Amino acid sequence: MNTEEEVIKNIQSGVDVEKGFKFLVQLYQEKIYWHIRSIMKSHEDTNDVMQNTFIKAYKNINSFKNDAKFYTWLYRIATNESLNALKKNNKIGVVGMDEPEGIMKEVHSDPYFDGDEAQIILLQAIASLPEKQRLVFNMKYYDDMSYKDISEILNTSVGALKASFHHASKKIEAFVKSMSYE
């Protein structure tokens, strides 16, 4: 098949729209799934948000400008959809993922997660972070994204992102050390 850029141009001009978008979904669905999962923590919620992300991308692909990378545009949509879903869930009484108890309940009851104790402590530490630090940490640590790409997705300066990642790392380190003494 063509390059990603050619596929996007074809979709935007109405050529092979379904085939082209299927190519983009296949190219990014795993990365988007794990990015959303790092925010949502529930497999079912992640699938719902992922579906909404790709629907929104499909409906708005004509507004995508090739001056940015497609995957950063898609990550921005996924991030916003995830945050909106969290806000909606909190409004209807679902335990917030900002609360370590909420994430632990989700992780322990999730049939798709079979992590060992170290992974559970790391997830609990990440869940204890403020929302922005958690997002930055997940995008940098798990998704191995550059600060420049994260900056485009979150619309934040690279310097602020580096500070957020540093603070998040220190908080996680302190959390893990405190858990090892219990």
The predicted model scores a pTM of 0.70
Longest dimension (CA), the chain: 61
- Which ranges in the chain are annotated with CATH 1.10.1740.10? 1-94
CATH topology of domain 1-94: Rna Polymerase Sigma Factor; Chain: A (1.10.1740)
pLDDT in tens, 97-126: 444 455 555 544 555 555 567 777 887 888
Give per-residue pLDDT as tens, 170-181. Answer: 999 998 888 765
